[in-house]
């Protein structure tokens, strides 16, 4: 790798034309290294101490922002005499940009969120893009397939050491920096080859590949654009009602079993849940129109979005499915909304009045006096299975007719499912990473793209600010006229073809499939506790159910799978597609029917502390799922603690579990926009005047596993019930 002053122009590559711009058809890559520290006053600081940049495969480096700006000036003078442009990839642009943005002459920028630029242009010449958002892989995973990946197995940088631009870097450290460039450079070359040997055809994100595949299929069908324009909601009230009705997957732990070590847990898992819902079900395919109704429809072809008021809601099982965050709950004594803050075990200042009218199970409603929420007719089926109530009123409602989604939308989803199936079960790190990416691509195509917010917030970056204002700002459209204008713009967009309501119904159907199986398990329970079935369901998460005595309930899942088979045959016949597309063959020669329940590996032991919190033992290996903690680092810490205290690892996984900084596997990022200059001493003893305009301070994060007081009461209530 050469220092930037050794810059020598190489062979000029070919140019591609895009949007009337001439763009070089070879990659440029930028990377920076930074040090985070606390100064003598305890203030968080971070400094950039080296940048490295590859131009058409040749690496250069410098140590200061002045070096970088000088180098970029040379680049523009050499390669842009007539306005030609370079595309420059940065692996994790959101991080690096917070250091370099204020130093650049930003002539164009587009961000998807605050601190999250999708791309930006320097000096009308260099467009920075994010290779992390394009690949979906960490740099270590991106490099694993390259022949000289052993470089990344070296020690590399010890990031805890404070470095500045005066810190002397060893030849090994410089090689480590250079290899980061070469990995991204090779990846972008591969992407160019994959995109008709044209860098301008590379999308900004990996999900764009799924969008491209669906759009290509849909454009072949002249009917699809008329259908899209016909069914797209343009009334702000209807669109906001659809947004209110949108829920994700349902994840919950049975309060009967929380914080208890259980044995011999059976796992049932749905095969590609969201894609299967997209393929087999009927969806709203006409415009939603206001209607006056008093009940929900009981047929298969009528869709209904309704704002409802429910009195005296009460759960029938030890599974409470209605999320408090999706409802407005009122006290029936004075009709005031219950402000849920749960401080010191009290739901609000009106605790003495309304505690009898609101009971929660880890954020889900066990009972409520009065609540208002928005439901689809599928959600109504769900709450009907799991709750009783005194009265339900429909306040407002909109209806549409349902049908299968267009065939041009279904065909590429089945193609993606086939690609994923061929990777399932293959050994090797790369295969597992690619399988996960394939799975994400499939879910994006069948669900994620459908629920992309049509009414975007306006994200603004302004480098010319004072200390009282942030460089980043977000403006959410609230005026109905503006929302209506944005909906009309989306409806008339030539490249748009996805209906927001499709995504709303995909997750509703997915919850229904999961919950109807759980209900059958509950109804098969032989014991009761406090007039509710003492069932065997321990934990469920979107597309999986973990339970005791799984052999007792195999018939439930067999019946479910037989119904899926019939549903897929109907869909196959409707779309005039070969049934083999719905049931491809994996590498082991096994048919994988889309959307059925499969029995996964059993757990010898399992313990859950709530949603996204469980610790398990399977085939002699422990596994941790804990939101906010790395699966690998967190599990290692639990096992070391168990060894230290000479106890069962399950006993360590408890309500008060603490992960010290460096053991959770997570980092705390602090975004700082206050410019500073100060003298620091690096680990080699060099005193240096450092200067940053904006920066991100990063440090190892500790993690304290805490349980809300109301949930502790529920857990303790059933302590000892399980023998």
**pLDDT > 90 fraction of the chain, expressed in percent and rounded:** 67
Confidence grade of residue 430 (pLDDT, cut at 50, 70, 90): low
Please identify which residue in the block is written with the tokens 């070919």: 14
The reported pTM is: 0.90
Whole-number Å distance between alpha carbons of 66 and 699: 27
Output the CA torsion sign for 565, 570, 574, 579: positive
Whole-number Å distance between alpha carbons of 415 and 442: 9
Does the pLDDT value for residue 355 go beyond 60?
no
Q: Bridge partners of 29? A: 54, 89
pLDDT at 350: 47
Whole-number Å distance between alpha carbons of 531 and 415: 48
pLDDT at 462: 87
pLDDT at 623: 96
Mean pLDDT, residues 574-585 taken together: 94
Which run of H or E residues covers position 270? strand 262-270
Geometric angle at alpha carbon 103, from 98 and 105, rounded to 5°: 110
Does the pLDDT value for residue 343 go beyond 80?
no
Whole-number Å distance between alpha carbons of 410 and 402: 16
β-strands 58-62, 2-3: how paired? Answer: parallel
Kindly state the DSSP code that residue 168 receives in the 8-state scheme.
P
Whole-number Å distance between alpha carbons of 484 and 495: 19
Q: What is the tens place of the pLDDT at every residue in 669-702?
A: 999 998 999 999 999 999 999 999 999 999 999 9
Q: Which of 331, 338, 337 is closest to 357 using CA atoms?
A: 331
Tell the burial category of 352 from Cβ atoms under 10 Å away from its Cβ (0-12, 13-18, 19+).
exposed
DSSP-assigned letters across all residues of 453-467:
-SS--EEEE-SS--T
| Neighbouring C-beta atoms of residue 465, cutoff 10 Å | 14
Q: Which of 664, 667, 656, 662 is closest to 630 using CA atoms?
A: 664
Does the pLDDT value for residue 354 go beyond 90?
no
**pLDDT > 70 fraction of the chain, expressed in percent and rounded:** 91
Cβ atoms of 397 and 305 closer than 8 Å: yes
Q: SS3 letters for 194-211? A: HCCCCHHHCCCCCHHHHH
Whole-number Å distance between alpha carbons of 510 and 423: 24
The helices-and-strands tally (H runs, E runs) of the chain is 19, 36
pLDDT at 428: 67
| Neighbouring C-beta atoms of residue 143, cutoff 10 Å | 21
Kindly report the backbone phi and psi dihedral angles of residue 196, in degrees, each rounded to the nearest multiple of 5, phi listed first.
60, 30
pLDDT at 405: 94
Cβ atoms of 234 and 364 closer than 8 Å: no
Enumerate residues 6+ apart whose C-beta is below 8 A from 22. Answer: 15, 16, 82, 83, 84, 85
| Neighbouring C-beta atoms of residue 187, cutoff 10 Å | 23
Whole-number Å distance between alpha carbons of 505 and 527: 35
Whole-number Å distance between alpha carbons of 561 and 597: 6
Q: What is the tens place of the pLDDT at every residue in 196-238?
A: 999 999 999 988 888 888 888 888 787 888 899 999 999 999 9
pLDDT at 347: 47
* Domain boundaries defined on the chain: 2-205, 215-232+407-500, 284-403
309-333 in b/e form (b: 16+ CB < 10 A) is: ebebbebbbbbbbbbbebbebbbee
Residues in the chain: 723
Mean pLDDT, residues 436-449 taken together: 75
Whole-number Å distance between alpha carbons of 439 and 436: 5
Q: Where are the beta strands (DSSP E) in 404-450?
A: none
pLDDT at 342: 37
Please identify which residue in the block is written with the tokens 């193609």: 415
Does the pLDDT value for residue 297 go beyond 80?
yes
Enumerate residues 6+ apart whose C-beta is below 8 A from 644. Answer: none
Output the CA torsion sign for 495, 499, 504, 507: negative
CA 203 → CA 98, 124, 212, distances in Å?
A: 23, 20, 9
> Minimum mean pLDDT among 27-36, 173-182, 428-437, 696-705: which range?
428-437
pLDDT at 482: 93
Place domain 2-205 in its CATH homologous superfamily.
Ribonuclease H-like superfamily/Ribonuclease H (3.30.420.10)
Q: What is the tens place of the pLDDT at every residue in 148-182?
A: 444 444 445 688 899 999 999 999 899 888 888 99
Does the pLDDT value for residue 112 go beyond 60?
yes
């Amino acid at each position: 790798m050469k220092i930037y002053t050794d810059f020598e122009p190489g062979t000029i590559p070919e140019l591609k034309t895009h949007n009337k711009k001439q763009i070089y058809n070879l990659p440029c890559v930028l990377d920076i290294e930074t040090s985070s520290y606390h100064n003598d006053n305890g203030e968080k600081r971070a400094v950039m101490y080296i940048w490295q940049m590859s131009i058409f495969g040749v690496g250069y480096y410098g140590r200061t922002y002045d070096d970088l700006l000088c180098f970029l000036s040379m680049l523009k003078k050499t390669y842009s005499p007539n306005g030609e442009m370079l595309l420059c990839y940065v692996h994790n642009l959101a991080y690096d940009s917070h250091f370099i943005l204020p130093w650049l002459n930003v002539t164009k920028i587009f961000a998807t969120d605050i601190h999250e630029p999708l791309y930006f242009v320097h000096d009308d010449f260099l467009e920075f893009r994010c290779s992390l958002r394009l690949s979906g892989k960490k740099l270590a995973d991106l490099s694993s397939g390259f022949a000289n990946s052993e470089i990344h197995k070296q020690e590399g940088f010890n990031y805890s050491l404070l470095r500045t631009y005066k810190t002397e870097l060893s030849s090994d450290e410089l090689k480590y920096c250079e290899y980061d460039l070469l990995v991204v450079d090779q990846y972008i070359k591969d992407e160019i080859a994959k995109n008709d040997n044209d860098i301008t055809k590379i999308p900004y994100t990996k999900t764009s590949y799924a969008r491209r595949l669906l759009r290509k299929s849909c454009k072949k069908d002249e009917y699809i654009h008329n259908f899209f324009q016909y069914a797209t909601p343009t009334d702000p009230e209807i669109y906001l009602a659809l947004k209110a009705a949108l829920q994700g997957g349902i994840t919950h732990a049975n309060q009967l079993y929380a914080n208890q070590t259980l044995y011999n847990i059976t796992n049932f898992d749905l095969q590609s849940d969201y894609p299967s819902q997209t393929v087999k079900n009927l969806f709203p395919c006409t415009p939603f129109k206001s209607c006056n109704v008093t009940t929900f429809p009981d047929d298969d072809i009528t869709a209904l979005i309704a704002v409802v008021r429910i009195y005296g809601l009460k759960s029938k099982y030890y599974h409470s499915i209605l999320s408090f965050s999706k409802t407005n709950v009122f006290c029936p004594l004075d009709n005031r909304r219950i402000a849920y803050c749960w401080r010191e075990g009290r739901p609000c200042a009106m605790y003495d009045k309304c505690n009898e009218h609101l009971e929660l199970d880890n954020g889900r409603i066990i009972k409520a006096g009065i609540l208002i929420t928005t439901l689809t007719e599928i959600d109504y089926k769900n709450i009907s299975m799991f709750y009783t109530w005194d009265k339900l009123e429909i306040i407002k409602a909109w209806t549409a007719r349902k049908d299968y989604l267009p065939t041009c939308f279904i065909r590429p989803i089945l193609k993606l499912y086939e690609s994923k199936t061929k990777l399932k079960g293959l050994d090797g790190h790369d295969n597992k990473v690619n399988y996960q990416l394939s799975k994400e691509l499939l879910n994006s195509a069948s669900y994620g793209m459908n629920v992309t917010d049509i009414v975007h917030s306006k994200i603004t970056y302004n480098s010319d600010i004072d200390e009282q204002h942030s460089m980043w700002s977000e403006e959410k459209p609230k005026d109905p006229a503006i929302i209506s204008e944005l909906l009309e713009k989306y409806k008339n967009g030539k490249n748009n073809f996805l209906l927001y309501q499709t995504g709303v119904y995909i997750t509703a159907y997915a919850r229904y499939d999961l919950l109807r199986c759980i209900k059958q398990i509950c109804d098969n329970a032989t014991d009761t506790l406090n007039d509710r079935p003492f069932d065997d369901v321990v934990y469920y998460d979107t597309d999986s159910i973990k339970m005791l005595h799984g052999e007792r309930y195999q018939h439930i899942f067999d019946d479910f799978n037989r119904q899926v088979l019939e549903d897929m045959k109907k869909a196959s016949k409707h779309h005039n597609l070969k049934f083999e597309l719905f049931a491809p063959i994996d590498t082991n020669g096994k048919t994988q029917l889309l959307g059925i329940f499969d029995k996964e590996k059993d757990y010898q032991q399992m313990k859950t502390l709530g949603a996204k919190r469980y610790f398990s033992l399977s085939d002699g290996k422990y596994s941790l799922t804990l939101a906010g903690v790395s699966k690998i680092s967190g599990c290692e810490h639990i096992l070391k603690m168990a060894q230290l205290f000479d106890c069962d690892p399950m006993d360590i996984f408890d309500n008060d579990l603490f992960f010290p900084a460096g053991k959770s596997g997570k980092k705390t990022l602090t975004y700082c926009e206050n410019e500073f200059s100060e003298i620091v001493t690096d680990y080699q003893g060099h005193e240096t005047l450092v200067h940053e305009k904006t920066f991100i301070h990063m440090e190892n994060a500790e993690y304290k596993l805490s349980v809300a007081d109301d949930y502790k009461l529920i857990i303790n209530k059933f302590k000892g019930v399980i023998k």
